[in-house]
Amino acid sequence: MIWKREITLDALNQMAEQTMVGHLGIIFTHIGDDELEAEMEVDHRTVQPFGLLHGGASAALAETMGSMAGFLTSKEGQCVVGTELSATHHRAVSSGKVRGVCRPLHLSNSSQSWEIAIFDARGKRSCTCRLSTAVIG
């Protein structure tokens, strides 16, 4: 297991309630040994004017997941900040939920890299993101 902090899904979701994360409806759904999962509805909050999932909403989901995973792998007294985010959009999503799966690519005392794969309701990959973070403290 990669996590250094113990936290429940309920606590993760409560931390996000009064933030953009809560506004977008991002819900953490699973904490595995080396992965973090979350869901987001494709609805009026997350689509662009043409009715498709907004790339910025996908990026927000990815950054949320990678940042939270980074926090969970940090020690007490440390914080984690995003330094770079890239997103490759593979297919459009117009309804249902998307599910993000976040896994580490690199973990060190000073930096981290995370891959966040986003899947549509049929399980097809719609977006692949990579988040780099710096560990401070």
Catalytic residues: 63
End-to-end CA distance of the chain: give it in Å, rounded.
Answer: 22
Instruction: Locate 83 and state its tokens.
Output: 């330094």
Separation between Cα atoms, residue 17 and residue 94, nearest integer Å: 25
Torsion of CA 19, 3, 111, 40, to 10 degrees: -40
C-beta of residue 124 within 8 angstroms of C-beta of residue 81: no
